[in-house]
Amino acid sequence: MISRDNERGKCMKHLVLVCMLSVYVFAVEITPSDVYREVMRIKKEVHYLLAYNNIKYDEKKLQKAVHVTVNVKPRDVWQKSYEIMIKINILRSMYKLPSISPVNMAPVLNLNPDLVYEQTQRILTELHIFEYRNSIPMKKFNIGKYENKTPMDVFNGLSYVSAAMDKLNRSSFTPSYVFAQNMRVYDDVSLIIKRLGIEDNTIPAKINQNATPNDTFDTGMRILEKIKQLQILAGISFVDFSPLDKGSATPSDVFSITQMIIAELQTLKAYLKINSITIAAKEYSSKTPVEVDQLMSWNLRKLNLVDNIVMVGRGD
């Protein structure tokens, strides 16, 4: 009898453990609408900081300027959140606080949308830390629920926050910041070329002394198109970025296109089983739009060496 009771007790404990694990694994399903709700919370925080500092802004004008109609993937949304983390560092430096290296991650073919939610929590935490360190009274915002939101909605929400951060920082990205991100692209493209066993005989592109952010943006779009061609060859889900094409680009636009390039390169790295995380950006100073354009053009030259990514692929 005692033995049977013991067995029954063990079974009950096992059942309870299974139920607990099931709740842990299946209880929380994060949707784009959930993530969008957190982005709206971030928006409220940034609006509060703008008002606290008596900084005027035109919400509708900002929204119109950054709105896109691209069916982005969660990986692109995640990269947009990375952009905001960099702008928080700019804000910290303005107030003599040390910079914090933004969280990065190993390349994956399909980024889990839950990871974008995690990024929103990091952003909120950093904003709260900033408020605390500067004795700014914290406020709690009531945010309603949203339904039927898409990754594009989340992307546009984060793009608005990014533009509002420029107002808070009283500046946008300089060419030096853009150059630093293009060096990250350079390193990723170099890894891909090396993995494929391709001899890199490229040299820096000839300097175009008249280069403008428009020229660099156009080159970035050509890099995204090249990445899309390679993704199609490898059967990787791709994004059509052509609606992003614009007639007048700013350094911030070039920065953003560089972030999309980094996001999309991660799929090629994952396909080729390159597990290294994209290096953190180094600090540069006094870089010019001409130097940014030269490096972006060199990155395109390097990537154009790749004709067939399927040669290695998963079976290697």
pLDDT tens, position by position, 122-162: 999 999 999 999 999 999 999 999 999 999 999 999 999 99
Residue 249 near residue 217, CB atoms below 8 Å: yes
Spatial distance between the Cα atoms of 62 and 1, rounded to a whole number of angstroms: 74
Question: What confidence tier does 314 reach under pLDDT thresholds 50, 70, 90?
Answer: very low
CA-atom Rg of the chain in angstroms: 23
Which ranges in the chain belong to alpha helices (H)?
2-26, 32-52, 59-66, 74-94, 114-133, 151-169, 175-195, 213-234, 251-271, 289-303
Spatial distance between the Cα atoms of 280 and 299, rounded to a whole number of angstroms: 18
Q: Centre a 10 Å sphere on the Cβ of residue 269 and count the other Cβ atoms it contains.
A: 22
Q: Which of 87-91, 206-210, 258-262 shows the lowest per-residue confidence on average (mean pLDDT)?
A: 206-210
160 to 155, 205, 283: CA distances (angstroms): 9, 34, 26
pLDDT of residue 310: 75
Question: What confidence tier does 19 reach under pLDDT thresholds 50, 70, 90?
Answer: low
Nearest partner of 111 among 279, 269, 229, judged by Cα: 269
112 to 95, 119, 254: CA distances (angstroms): 34, 12, 26
SS3 of 58, please? coil
Residue 168 pLDDT more than 50? yes
What would the two tokens of residue 182 be?
């293009």
Residue 223 near residue 261, CB atoms below 8 Å: yes
Residue 118 pLDDT more than 70? yes
pTM for the complete prediction?
0.88
Residue 6 pLDDT more than 80? no
Contacts of residue 219, defined as CB under 8 A and 6 or more positions apart, other chains included, come to 293, 296, 297, 300
pLDDT tens, position by position, 172-227: 899 999 999 999 999 999 999 999 999 999 999 889 999 999 999 999 999 999 99
Spatial distance between the Cα atoms of 63 and 120, rounded to a whole number of angstroms: 19
Q: Which residue has the tokens 């509060």?
A: 48
pLDDT tens, position by position, 27-86: 578 999 999 999 999 999 999 999 999 999 999 999 999 999 999 999 999 999 999 999
The domain ranges of the chain are: 1-29, 31-171, 173-316
Q: Which of 4-18, 84-98, 217-231 shows the lowest per-residue confidence on average (mean pLDDT)?
A: 4-18
What would the two tokens of residue 157 be?
């929400």
Spatial distance between the Cα atoms of 96 and 292, rounded to a whole number of angstroms: 28
Q: What percent of the chain has pLDDT over 90?
A: 80
Phi-psi region of 170 (alpha: psi -120 to 50; beta: other; left: phi over 0): left
